[in-house]
A = this chain, B = another copy of it.
Amino acid sequence: MNIALAQFNPIVGDLTGNAHRTVRWIERAREKGADLVVFPELSVVGYSPHDLLDNVHFMDAVEVAIRYIHAHVPPDMGVLVGAPIRNPNPVGKKLLNAALLLERDVPARTTAKMLLPTYDVYDEYRYFEPAERQEVMEFRGMRLGVHICEDMWNLEEYATYHMYERDPVAELVAQGVDVLINLSASPWAHDRHVVRTGIIESLCHRHNVPFVMVNQVGANTELIFDGDSSVFGADGQLLACAPSFEESLLLWNTDHTVACERPPRERIEDLHDALVLGIREYVDKTGAFDEVLIGLSGGIDSAVTAALAVEALGPERVTGITMPSVHSSEGSINDSESLAQNLGIAFHELAIEDIVDSFEKTLTPLFEGTPFGIAEENIQARSRGVLLMAVANKYSRMVLTTGNKSELAMGYATLYGDMSGGLAVLADVFKMDVYALARFINDRAGTVRIPVSSIEKPPSAELRPDQKDEDSLPPYPLLDDILQRYIEERQDEEVIAQATGQSVSFVRGILDAVDRNEYKRKQAPPGLRVSVKGFGSGRRMPIVARVNRKDIERMMHELQEDSTA
């Protein structure tokens, strides 16, 4: 039997668009000789539709879209699509996260997801009731073990948030299956490929059954999907794999058991391609603006953001604006200009001096006699924000913000200033990775795209004379290490202090800064998620909160003294 893996890129909520494209893909798969085409999880609606699912009208429309696809299945084929369906049981959540096997003139057969991720960016139990049982689907004499995404993720060694009671894959295998088929919408993050592959290999070894995994590709808001769809033999060997970060229709004949190798990919290459895809998809799928605008400071963050945007959209859709102040170095303006030249993008210079002066003059009655401080620094950043947004509003463009994860973590950014824009490209990229991206971009181009001095000069916000990031922040290699341990690995101060050779009070200062700046990140634009824990919808911290590490220590001592007294 020929199985086509449809590494498909749906738009969230775009039921008619997704349905029309699904039908075209089915046609293409038929031309290639496929007997069965497999689409990703929730392929009809895109992952994730979030609260669109709460609208009765939306679910009515989903049913229309499914009927439309079903009506267009050729007589000689089977099609597996992913879609939310209504829970026939009046008790429990109103929907099921289902896979539907569609064949001409036969009622759809359905199976539903049993393990519903409800952690990090996932909210599935908000909408879906878990399936009570798994049943094998027979198709052309083959027993298909169809299951959905998380259903394969219940191996003890991977259960970071939740170890599940049920094992849907084992339940399917127990009924006898010829092939396991997983419909996924599994977003990309560093190391995800390795983890995903490890799980599938373990499952093949454990159950001695071939495994087909079809993953969504593309990006929807903050989530980037790499695809990575692949087929593994019963012995856990890779038999076929789709390219990463692009749509692909991959055909596998179930008799084909010759192992192949996935072309090796580097960590920074993956990160680069993920961000490029994320930018392109966000701009194109929101559809409100064709072009983007970036404030160029001469620093590394805006340079990398601009270079990525050019790769995503082409130079003709990117404009850079430098907005020097009295504190800007000559180098910064030159670096911005050379960057724009290297990238071939439109470039403007708008000095903010007069604007800052007029703010300061207007504020004189209230500010007279006070020293230069945060208020004055922010006026500069915010004047730039207003200018960028004005140009964006005037010429229908989207502003891309350029702050990185290290800065956002520490609150080293100005709300309504450099945080103004539609998409935060580097919001989940630590500063040291921004450097790595810059070098990667230049290396791959074989020429200087990011000016060398943007890479080599000490980072500075240039909001006061001779300011350097390291006046306010620890050196980035150390800072990034501490932040990564705290935010992504949830280590606490003692563990981090020990691992990094720093004092507990030094580490505590950094963790407190991260906690304290939750309110800024609350108002940040959506950021592209590339780690297992970004600052977007996967991190839900209370804004009103007091975390008192020191007081708890004191309370513990008090208790110990009482009990020994």
Contact = CB atoms under 8 A, between A and B. Distances in A.
Given A386-B382, A389-B416, A523-B524, A541 B50 contact: yes
A542 B49 contact: yes
B416 A394 contact: no
A259 interface: no
A362 B366 contact: no
Contacts of A473: none
B415 A163 contact: no
Contact of A543 (B14, B286, B389, B393): B286
Interface in A46-67: 46, 48-52, 54-58, 61, 64-65, 67
A546 B387 contact: no
A348 B366 contact: yes
Nearest to A550: B16
Chain B CB within 10 Å, residue with most, of A93, A163, A493, A540: A540
Contacts of A365: 348, 350
A559 interface: yes
Nearest to A57: B492
A361 interface: yes
Contacts of A57: 492-493, 549
Interface string A539-561: 11111111111011011101100
A68 B558 contact: yes
A272 B354 CA distance: 44
A193 interface: no
A221 B91 contact: no
Interface string A281-305: 1100111000000000000000000
A544 B359 contact: no
Nearest to A350: B362
Interface residues of A, number: 113
Given A91-B165, A524-B523, A367 B394 contact: yes
Interface in A6-65: 11-17, 19, 46, 48-52, 54-58, 61, 64-65
A562 interface: yes
Contact of A355 (B355, B387, B493, B540): B355
Contacts of A219: 544
Interface string A368-379: 001001111011
Interface string A419-454: 010100000000000000000000000000000000
Contacts of A325: none
A383 interface: yes
A423 to B, nearest CB: 9
A465 interface: no
Given A123-B540, A373-B394, A16 B554 contact: yes
A71 interface: yes
A37 to B, nearest CB: 20
A78 interface: no
A91 B163 contact: yes
B378 A544 contact: no
Given A162-B93, A362-B352, A56 B386 contact: no
B382 A545 contact: no
B386 A92 contact: no
A461 interface: no
B556 A64 contact: yes
Interface string A302-338: 0000000000000000000000000000000000000
Interface of A: 11-17, 19, 46, 48-52, 54-58, 61, 64-65, 67-68, 71, 90-94, 118-119, 123, 125-126, 161-165, 219-221, 281-282, 285-287, 348, 350-352, 354-355, 357-359, 361-363, 365-367, 370, 373-376, 378-379, 382-383, 385-387, 389-391, 393-394, 415-416, 420, 422, 490, 492-493, 519, 522-526, 537, 539-549, 551-552, 554-556, 558-559, 562
24 contacts: A12-B546, A13-B545, A15-B548, A17-B551, A49-B542, A50-B540, A51-B540, A52-B545, A57-B492, A64-B555, A64-B556, A65-B552, A91-B163, A92-B164, A286-B544, A287-B546, A351-B362, A355-B362, A363-B391, A367-B394, A375-B394, A382-B416, A519-B526, A522-B525
